[in-house]
Structure 1
């Protein structure tokens, strides 16, 4: 509850306000200001959130007494988040007006007057009017109604109506625990899918995203439906939650509550998205400061991402426990023994006994190798996830230097199936950063720009997912060239390791490519990889941005550009690896920014460079190539005067012929020679010349600022210029 020095003056004002709209508005403003002041002075967030609900209770009860008679045949019920006794600054106040079957007209008028006054004083209310029977019908048809009613509280009015409604919507009447759990589980899966099954997005949703407040509420709802518990600490008493997990849940929830409180305060509305332009304001509100390595906003967001990662892991553990105790309680357990340490129980791999990791720490890696080798395994048992988390401290320098551990890890990244899935789980459960300590720095690390939409660790794992998709025959049509190249790579684990290290040095200051290359080389040597393979992986990390920048920022039709890039790449094998790493990296950075144009640029750069590496061209070869292109273009210009074509081309530099295709050369010449000067300017467009882009040709007599005028008009049309000559 709120401290008396805050609560009592506010209650006194509420009592004296009566029905005066101005006074009631002033009371609400006073409540908001008092709670904000208390928050800024360090009042516990749960006190502020429950305190607001308590004060709103008193406000509504006071108005109800004035507007509704004791025998009006209705009850005022708090539902949803407000029913839980939780209210953030701009949260909706969800109300249910529970009424008798035959409500008198006078009672209807009283309820209507009550609602009108709430609107007049500016409360954000959501309300419904139902009988107990209607509640039962709606609850049976819609699980969200059932969920809201489960958390209801009687505020004022008929207690008998409320008791009748509770009885009509209980688990013995609608949505028994097994059906309720299955429906809520599917609901959560759909909700997570909306956010790409990751909470590590650029603008995460603090309420609905994976690991957010809704995931905590999901645990509470299922536990309440099955066990009748009203708080998470009761799950500790039942042995479902450990003390450490309960503390972690509470700390995580309170941290998210503090952020949500400030989100509502800053925006003045019910805003649950950590929007890009709000993140800096929130970082300042939580007193983060820029330092040499990280911006304040990056520090703030990393703490947020790490918090929801812990909450997501706990959500997974508890929901799996509920699945075993609710859905599979009456089913016979199907057990498949894998070895002396692990078995599969109803599709989930688990430790045979609770001492397995303390007796054999290497089993911490072995379990993930087994998952890659058995595609039928759905996941890890909740009890074993707990054991993994409790034994992470065993992964120390001695463990990492153990040849058996090294062999296990290399086996994991060398598997033909399940590599992405397992590495993602290893990261979620803390094992990947424990085994590769440098990875810890990028867990939950965001980059404050609009280009990178995922945290660095999530981006890294999505890169690996993209790589693994290239090995699936059914998906070869997505990127035929890349799939063909991937099939020719003998040691695909080199690409996986390069992916793991390509951004590992972000946030440490300096050039992350250079620093990451050093880390990668050290790791490869510590893992006894052949020196040639180690240098390839390190080289890939060091140069992982070069191909993308060359393709997008340089003229890849310029022979000098290709020669210089080929000198850097050195061999066709290096080129193959770099092309695959670059393609998958670009697609994992921001899927919405990937397009056919970028795909075409990368393929062109790859093919030009491969040709240069296999058959280096001299200047004489370049001249011969230009003559060949002109001859082919003339074949498409048979209707034009060939002497006129020659005279036109004599006005163009060698660069023109190097940078344009045969079709473009013929198209340009045909338009220019077919159009009299008095018909200038001419604007032509072709949409099919280059995938993902349209090509515009503008022919006009040259004059000052012509190019600037053209590009300005294109920009005003919100068109993206990817190349201009």
Structure 2
């Protein structure tokens, strides 16, 4: 009988693959366990691979199986935990004399499988080559530990796998060390915390890869990857085994869901998908929490369990040099009853360990000692504590436990890692009950990278790191004699999130309750409550207001009240900001924070709001003036310098500002109304455009035309600062250019500047249309996840001359232009603005007035402006 043609094989198997995936999806949607669906997917892959294998054998060897060749599945295919669109990793193991036959099989097999629609990873090796590569590359080793026989010669497969097993056990110390290091590097890339807001369910910390690492280390140490066998060997505890099995099934099912939803390999759990899965899987909210928050809290619980089990398994099986262990014990000394301390570790002696581990007060005192002496807790000691605390029923802490906790909180050192351990054991929430709700709580913005609890502990870590910095913030942190309140405030500053009420107000109430539970004195409770209530005040004032205005500083100083509180609040604010995520603290932001601190401290010390500006600004003007000549051709430049507000000065160095003043003065003398100056800012990785325009009496619409020019060129405005010098508008814009991630070429800059000048000089000219752009981003967030409310607030109390209008919203393309156009249509005059865009959020402040110079004080007028801006933000205009 003639063999069927290749096209018939491919077409038949393609149809089987499509139908098989659909049946698996139906089984998945019906609520089947993740491991069952994955096993069925693997069976489907096996059937297709065997059909392609049999066709290759029929085509080349008349249906006979060639001798000396084995087809092996490895990686996820070998492990049989495939997701619907996973790769099929395979290898042909061949004797040297069978290489030619193997090459013919390999060519036919890979061609057919790719044509069928499988993503195939394929290699051909002799047993010796495969083992040799495994010893050199931990990635290859981990994949081959999961090898499974598929077809061909079982004797060849058995010979290879036994050689791999024996060789691994002989090299176990080095292999385990390399495995742990390779996993550490992978975690750094995909997320070295199990509390990421957009986790990779396979590669982020606490994901499937950490479970797989247990299997791989088990193979190197015991020659086994099966978790049940590792349990029987005593390598896993009963509790860890149960936790891992539960977590494994949850993560496998979740990964299957991601693949089915995308119709492709997808392991990143982004925010729109989180919400969709929570709804599809029937999660319910409650107690002010959304269903998606309940779902993600379960995910984070699972990831935490996996992280701990895999970390302890790795520590148990990592070889430590006998000499270093002996030195550690030889040089140790007893520092308390049952407690010894060596050069790098601290531990509890065996005779005391069992009773010690169940006593919360003793555990907290022990951790405080570890922090005080900056020693790591011995692995065996911590493992015993962990197991004891997991079975200990939660109880209200006694006075001794509270005292030990406060002692721990009073020092920096390794405080943050110890708090993470206490959090994982659910001890923090016994001391601070409100912390339970923050566990794994989402933050619905791209600004934050971590969950609420992870962010709070990270903020503590940032603050304690200040101790080693030779910076102004480091000096302020070290000046705090008692750091307990700072550390405690950072630990709880955001646990008011997730309620309908403002999280600072809720957090302040929680702070008072916490202070009373921890038996703090009334003065300390009052400061703790105030710190939480005002923890956003520094960012609000520094980043959104004109710090050269004495009224702004005076208002802030009244909220703060003293130098001690100022220093606490400044350190708290910077630590909080830095803990949001990488790249959030910029030189620009730190400069503004430092400026606010110095102005406020000077006021507390002298009672004079003007002295700071008088000295600093006077000196700066003098520096700039040295670059200007006392000649008629620079008279306008000198006049501009004399009239420049303090808010405009010190944006750039004195020499650059002088150059700008000379250029602006020359253009005004030549009768030009508009000027655009460009400079690349490497710190912000953005182009900085300085736009100067003589607006005369027409003060409406200038800002809208400039932002419209940027929008029409396809540029995104990251930051802006707007000032006026009489009739002259002097605006600074930092913009991103999607066409040029680095500094754009001169022709591009000239095009942008020409567009801006044309639109300003010809106000009757229509604005060009917004440039259309294509985006290949798959992870762009859906509007449904933007659940934080848009805010438009009016403040007529702080300033005598202007209304302060504050806007919080989620960003979208052209938003600033549409806001500016709304101001123009409403005949609202813009005098000063600070625009700050970070990822998906904008937080903008505008100093505005009516055309006649009056504030926007009428309620109906405010509502008119508010509704117009809300329509702009929602996209209705």
TM-score of the alignment, normalized to the shorter chain, above 0.5:
yes
> What is the CA deviation profile of residues 522-543 of structure 1, one whole-angstrom value per residue up to 9, with x for unaligned ones?
3223434332222112110110
Query: Equivalents in 2 of 1:236, 1:618: separation in Å?
Result: 70
Contact 1:357–1:388 at 8 Å: present in 2 too?
no
Contact 2:634–2:662 at 8 Å: present in 1 too?
no
Q: Say whether residues 1:677 and 2:670 are aligned partners.
A: yes
Aligned length: 698
- Between stretches 371-380 and 108-117, larger displacement belongs to 371-380
| 2:756 alignment counterpart | none
Q: Say whether residues 1:605 and 2:596 are aligned partners.
A: yes
Contact 1:439–1:504 at 8 Å: present in 2 too?
yes
Aligned partner of residue 451 in structure 1, secondary structure: coil
Contact 1:348–1:380 at 8 Å: present in 2 too?
no
Query: Equivalents in 2 of 1:225, 1:504: separation in Å?
Result: 43
RMSD after superposition: 3.4
> What is the CA deviation profile of residues 685-711 of structure 1, one whole-angstrom value per residue up to 9, with x for unaligned ones?
467999998764333443774332222
Residue 455 (structure 1) shift: 0.9
From 207, 210, 233, the equivalent of 2:205 is 210
From 12, 21, 25, the equivalent of 2:10 is 21
Residue 220 (structure 1) shift: 1.2
| 1:8 alignment counterpart | none
Query: Equivalents in 2 of 1:206, 1:419: separation in Å?
Result: 29
Residue 159 (structure 1) shift: 1.7
From 41, 50, 57, the equivalent of 2:46 is 57
| 1:461 alignment counterpart | 457
- Between stretches 277-286 and 120-129, larger displacement belongs to 277-286
Contact 2:456–2:490 at 8 Å: present in 1 too?
yes
Query: Equivalents in 1 of 2:373, 2:191: separation in Å?
Result: 25
Contact 1:18–1:63 at 8 Å: present in 2 too?
no
| 1:339 alignment counterpart | 336
| 1:165 alignment counterpart | 160
Query: Equivalents in 1 of 2:642, 2:324: separation in Å?
Result: 85
| 1:409 alignment counterpart | 405
Cα gap change, 1:631 to 1:313, in 2 (>3 Å): closer
| TM score, norm. by length of structure 1 | 0.87
Residue 331 (structure 1) shift: 6.7
Cα gap change, 1:689 to 1:618, in 2 (>3 Å): farther
From 536, 540, 560, the equivalent of 1:545 is 536
From 235, 240, 243, the equivalent of 2:235 is 240
Cα gap change, 1:49 to 1:173, in 2 (>3 Å): closer
Aligned partner of residue 659 in structure 1, secondary structure: coil
| 1:5 alignment counterpart | none
From 80, 83, 105, the equivalent of 1:85 is 80
| 1:7 alignment counterpart | none
Query: Equivalents in 2 of 1:650, 1:29: separation in Å?
Result: 72
Contact 1:354–1:387 at 8 Å: present in 2 too?
no
Contact 1:372–1:418 at 8 Å: present in 2 too?
yes
Mapping for residues 253-332 of structure 1, pairs under 5 Å: 253-289=248-284, 293-323=288-318
Aligned partner of residue 691 in structure 2, secondary structure: strand
Residue 622 (structure 1) shift: 8.7
Aligned partner of residue 127 in structure 1, secondary structure: strand
Cα gap change, 1:620 to 1:541, in 2 (>3 Å): closer
Q: Say whether residues 1:657 and 2:641 are aligned partners.
A: no
Cα gap change, 1:392 to 1:520, in 2 (>3 Å): farther
Residue 564 (structure 1) shift: 0.8
Q: Say whether residues 1:495 and 2:486 are aligned partners.
A: yes
Residue 544 (structure 1) shift: 0.2
Query: Equivalents in 1 of 2:682, 2:124: separation in Å?
Result: 61
Gaps of 5+ in 1: 1-14
Which structure is higher in helix share? Answer: 1
Q: Say whether residues 1:371 and 2:359 are aligned partners.
A: no
Which structure is higher in strand share? Answer: 2
| 2:387 alignment counterpart | 387
Query: Equivalents in 2 of 1:107, 1:634: separation in Å?
Result: 81
Contact 1:371–1:377 at 8 Å: present in 2 too?
yes
Q: Say whether residues 1:504 and 2:495 are aligned partners.
A: yes
Query: Equivalents in 2 of 1:691, 1:34: separation in Å?
Result: 51
> What is the CA deviation profile of residues 543-600 of structure 1, one whole-angstrom value per residue up to 9, with x for unaligned ones?
0011111111222221111111111111111111111111111111122222111111
> What is the CA deviation profile of residues 156-189 of structure 1, one whole-angstrom value per residue up to 9, with x for unaligned ones?
1112221232233233478622222122122222
- Between stretches 697-706 and 34-43, larger displacement belongs to 697-706
From 444, 456, 467, the equivalent of 2:440 is 444
| 1:10 alignment counterpart | none
Contact 1:689–1:695 at 8 Å: present in 2 too?
no
Contact 1:596–1:692 at 8 Å: present in 2 too?
no
Aligned partner of residue 75 in structure 1, secondary structure: strand
Query: Equivalents in 1 of 2:594, 2:189: separation in Å?
Result: 32
- Between stretches 54-63 and 700-709, larger displacement belongs to 700-709
From 681, 685, 690, the equivalent of 1:697 is 690
Cα gap change, 1:566 to 1:666, in 2 (>3 Å): farther
Q: Say whether residues 1:710 and 2:706 are aligned partners.
A: yes
Cα gap change, 1:609 to 1:150, in 2 (>3 Å): same
Gaps of 5+ in 2: 58-62, 724-877
Aligned partner of residue 128 in structure 1, secondary structure: strand
Cα gap change, 1:627 to 1:118, in 2 (>3 Å): closer
